[in-house]
Amino acid sequence: MQRWVRPEEFAEYSHHAEQLGFAGVLAGPLVRSSYRAGRLYQQAIARRRTAAPR
């Protein structure tokens, strides 16, 4: 391990990803691509619905 990433940094990564346009983001030390995938999918769908022009 090169360094320990502080929890605050994961929050920054999450915020940055959302600013880039990612509809759903989970950032943490043990998060993997399938981590809570269902919850992340629902979050992404909800954000797209609120952002979509009508």
42 within some domain? yes
Domain of residue 42, residue span:
7-51
1 within some domain? no
pLDDT digits (tens, 9 = 90+) for 5-33: 999 999 999 999 989 988 888 888 888 77
DSSP result, 11-23? HHHHHHHHHTT-S
- pLDDT over 60 at 54, yes or no: no
43 within some domain? yes
pLDDT on residue 5: 92
Structural domains counted in the chain: 1
2 within some domain? no
Q: Which residues contact 47 (CB under 8 A, 6 or more apart)?
A: 23, 24
Predicted TM-score (pTM) of this structure: 0.64
